[in-house]
Homo-oligomer: A and B are copies of this chain.
Amino acid sequence: MTETSLRERKKVATRQALSRAAALLAVERGVEGVTIEAIADAAGVSPRTFHNYFPGKEEAIVAPFTDGAQAVIDALRARPAGEPIWDALREVVREALLPTDTRDETIALLRVVKQNPALVGKQLCGLGEMQRQIAEVVAARTGTHAGRDLYPHLLAGAAGVAMRTALDLWVDGRTGADLPELIDSAFAQLRAGLPGP
Q: Which positions in A face B, CB cutoff 8 Å?
A: 85-86, 117, 120-122, 124-125, 128, 142-144, 147-151, 153-155, 157-158, 160-162, 164-166, 168-169, 172, 174-175, 182, 185-186, 189-194, 196-197
> Please, which residues of chain B bring their CB within 8 A of the CB of A154?
161-162, 165, 186, 189-190, 194
Closest to A182 in B: B150
Do most interface residues of chain A lie in helix, strand or loop, or is the interface mixed?
Answer: helix
CB distance from A17 to the nearest CB of B (A): 24
CA distance A196 to B128 in the complex (A): 22
> Please, which residues of chain B bring their CB within 8 A of the CB of A192?
193
Q: Judge whether A153 and B165 touch: CB under 8 Å.
A: yes
> Please, which residues of chain B bring their CB within 8 A of the CB of A190?
154, 158, 190, 193-194
Complex A-B: 16 CB contacts under 8 Å? A85-B196, A117-B125, A120-B128, A121-B122, A124-B125, A142-B196, A144-B197, A148-B174, A150-B166, A151-B189, A153-B168, A158-B158, A160-B161, A161-B161, A190-B190, A190-B193
Which single member of B124, B151, B193, B194 contacts A124 (CB below 8 Å)? B124
